[in-house]
Amino acid sequence: MPIKTPAKKSLGAALKRRARKPAKELAAGKRSLPKALQAARAVKGKAKALDAVGIRVIFQRLHDANPEPKGELDYVNQYTLLVAVVLSAQTTDTGVNKATGPLFAVADTPQKMLALGEDKVRDYIKSIGLYRTKAKNVIALSEQLLANSGGEIPRSREELEKLPGVGRKTANVVLNIAFGEETFAVDTHLFRLANRLRIAPGKTPLEVELGLEKCVPKEFRRHAHHWLILHGRYICKAVKPECEKCVLAELCTSGDKRI
């Protein structure tokens, strides 16, 4: 089944629309907080993970704010999704989209990318960080895909990670978006929120990822990493989180909380 380019109205926009309502208004009409969350608020700042009830409430709120979240990278098929995610390392999605729009218009398959060549690929993506290395990786992974799988994108993390420029996080994004796998791509935003909200505290991205695998309720696993990444990007920011707009404000026990 072909993969569609994400709609222009991103989850970020949806979150911002939802965020216009103050936290206390969002809470109106809801049941009282579970006792576990009330207790957690009383010991604000301590590094104890939430229990299953608290975690479920958090993901239910994020689901209610946007039931079908979408990633913000533009792509036209599984191959261009892979390329876009590889290019997104240490670069904003917006910056990647500006470069890949023209690139994917002329090269949306491994064959076309190889025909374009490394020098021209580099010219298309020179506005993004590490563009020289990324151009080499795009050409190398295209060659490897053609040689090993007839140009098809592998459906396993192990095989994806064998491709140049593809690490565990990139593989998890591709598996989640392209194939609907329940994976957790731990970027800087997700890592911060998993610790700040005490969902899956961890000292490394892998520790957080494994923690999420254990604690996220089944019905929320498909979209969990999108909710957390984009909530962190637009609302629960590293510096000056916009707590007054947050749908999770009354649940938060973080020492970074501003209300």
What are the catalytic residues?
169, 187
Cβ contacts of 29 within 8 Å, gap of 6 or more: none
* 136-142 own/partner pairs: CB under 8 Å, 24+ apart: 136/164, 137/86, 137/164, 137/165, 138/83, 138/86, 138/87, 138/113, 138/165, 139/113, 139/114, 140/164, 140/165, 141/82, 141/83, 141/86, 141/165, 141/166, 142/110, 142/111, 142/113, 142/114
- Say how many C-beta atoms besides its own lie within 10 A of residue 52's C-beta: 11
- Say how many C-beta atoms besides its own lie within 10 A of residue 245's C-beta: 20
CA 239 remoteness from chain centre = 19
Structure tokens at 34: 């579970």
- Tell the residue number behind the tokens 């090269």, with chain if given: 107
Packed helices 224-234 and 52-65: angle between N→C axes, nearest 10 degrees: 70
